[in-house]
Structure 1
């Protein structure tokens, strides 16, 4: 993967090659970004840049640098040299292998489950599936990955056996590149066994680079956090998501703009919404709020039964859409032209929400929705969760009742 294939993140795409150019590359980097920010894509592009035979400078040899500088090979057609947004050439043998996630000096570690009964689970067992997953779902999350390998309800882990395998690999001599690179996806899945890697991370073999990609800093071992250089990956901008949907998914400009606004910088969510673009979340939300504030417990139970059949990803999207409308309602209370650029239906519904809720109530509901999405991600019972959320929302807004009619 090249930097030019990474969605958005223009500042980091410029700064990361500078680490190589100015010889400031730390031996362990942590790409910290929320789901859908593209942190894994950035790490993959940087790994390819590091091993690229033409883009990145070679490290000093044992004999020391040449007195007169090393001669760079002539540029390939279209090759981008360092300066500005530098990139790997994409055409040298190393880039071709890295793009296929098959470079012998780029190693991967990720959560896995036991593949064969009686054998310890290690990442190498799933390398074929991993390469396919990266090509098909570069913005996939842990749930997508575990479903992709058929883990079902099993919990993925990066085990002690995996740590031993990493130590063994990185202590071997590199095959082709001057560098050895290890990409660890979701080090949050490392338990205390991750301490096995501390000495290797702190004092790695020469020209060895660790690229850790994480979503939740608080779930990473403190002993590992203290030994890495933090690279914060921000959420994507709406314009970058919109452009990517137009270019990569052939989504209409109107639909792309609407999805980008709702996805809140999460391209994984945006892709999920494209797949379910025909879903009328607003109609479902209208039915819920009318059941809460107008028609009573029987309608509420019927609605909860209906939404519990949607499946986890659709439930999360629905909560995300409600969250988006509440945030739009908040903006419209504060800024005069906050609704500009949003679809008329969203703007109208947000105005209706402002009639039945104040800012404190909207913030309380947003917190409830965020908590519900968190528990859905962890396989909470959807019927119990949505019924509890229904009761909570009722108590938040019961003093201001307005029927939400079309």
Structure 2
């Protein structure tokens, strides 16, 4: 039996059980909002729940069986009753060499189910562009589910990062949530629920997806990637409960060393009031693009946070055993 997404997500048994009971008890709402950090379980849970709903034998084990005809059809996330909506570049922003964001997402998701939208943008070479969900995107999806049928199975629309909907798109979705098509489930996945219309929030059942525990990340890294427990613990300590970040550290350990060197260089230039040096340093990151600068700033904030904790002798709260401590 091939594992389905449900089984690939470590822990979160209470949430999996809650979702399963919504379906098995016939109390499934027409719209669910899964809110959790990008790079954690919210998106794979949404897509795994789609597999669960279409499995012919899910009721036997409270998880997709991986063997029935429906499971085999949904393993690659291509299924007549499933639609995925994600932000895209507007036509005016597209380059002739630009890759399709949806294709990139599926490619990256096959490699890592905890992929983030930043990962997708980076691969799409859209580091300095704004991705959106347009009213046309919402209209096409709603129209397609209105005319599709998968027997007695649900039509499922998964909207990833609905906070990136344009105002007209958000209003279009709101009208649909007020009068949803029959046998249709909308699953919204976001890490910024506060940016959604309050009227949309009022029409969905919200489920908070927590970060992974250190133990869950350690066990995952050891079981799936066969690394030494000490290294798994080291990575888990600085990933702040984010599995995608853990995997990024695992596969790009050298990049994190480079970020540390860049931070040291910037700190030395700042202490010396070396304005010419600072200007050159800034231009280097300008040429690298928005996402590279964003990664550096996130990394720098982590170091500054750890430094403050160390300064106030709150050593038990410092979650790193890497060279940043020095």
Do Structure 1 and Structure 2 share a fold, with TM-score over 0.5?
yes
Within the candidate set 22, 33, 37, 1:19 is matched to 22
Instruction: Evaluate the alpha carbon distance shift between residue 9 and residue 319 of structure 1 in structure 2; reply closer, same or farther with a 3 A threshold.
Output: farther
Number of residue-to-residue matches in the alignment: 314
| C-alpha distance in 1 between matches for 2:180 and 2:11 | 32
Cα distance, 1:175 vs. partner?
A: 2.2
| C-alpha distance in 1 between matches for 2:227 and 2:290 | 24
Bigger shift: residues 136-145 or 184-193: 136-145
| C-alpha distance in 2 between matches for 1:146 and 1:306 | 20
Cα distance, 1:170 vs. partner?
A: 2.1
Q: 2:243 matched to which residue of 1?
A: 267
Within the candidate set 266, 278, 284, 1:288 is matched to 266
| C-alpha distance in 1 between matches for 2:271 and 2:51 | 55
| C-alpha distance in 1 between matches for 2:307 and 2:283 | 28
Q: 1:216 matched to which residue of 2?
A: 192
| C-alpha distance in 2 between matches for 1:286 and 1:175 | 57
RMSD: 3.2
Instruction: Evaluate the alpha carbon distance shift between residue 302 and residue 91 of structure 1 in structure 2; reply closer, same or farther with a 3 A threshold.
Output: same
Q: 1:48 matched to which residue of 2?
A: 51
Residue 238 (1) aligns with residue 241 (2): no
Q: 2:63 matched to which residue of 1?
A: 87
Q: For residues 94-243 of structure 1, what are the structure 2 equivalents within 5 Å?
A: 94-113=70-89, 128-149=103-124, 153-193=128-168, 194-243=170-219
| C-alpha distance in 2 between matches for 1:334 and 1:243 | 30
Q: SS state of the match for residue 278, structure 1?
A: helix
| Contiguous gaps of at least 5 residues in structure 1 | 57-79, 118-124, 350-406
Within the candidate set 334, 340, 343, 2:321 is matched to 343
Asked if 2 retains the 8 angstrom alpha-carbon contact of 1:36 and 1:265, the reply is: no
Cα distance, 1:321 vs. partner?
A: 3.6
Cα distance, 1:286 vs. partner?
A: 3.1
| C-alpha distance in 2 between matches for 1:160 and 1:237 | 38
Instruction: Evaluate the alpha carbon distance shift between residue 315 and residue 277 of structure 1 in structure 2; reply closer, same or farther with a 3 A threshold.
Output: farther
Cα distance, 1:18 vs. partner?
A: 1.9
| C-alpha distance in 1 between matches for 2:91 and 2:173 | 23
Cα distance, 1:29 vs. partner?
A: 0.2
| Contiguous gaps of at least 5 residues in structure 2 | 94-99
Write the deviation string for residues 7-54 of structure 1: whole angstroms up to 9, x where unpaired: 443331232212223332111001111222221111011111111111
TM-score by length of 2: 0.81
Instruction: Evaluate the alpha carbon distance shift between residue 135 and residue 115 of structure 1 in structure 2; reply closer, same or farther with a 3 A threshold.
Output: farther
Q: SS state of the match for residue 35, structure 1?
A: coil
| C-alpha distance in 2 between matches for 1:322 and 1:48 | 39
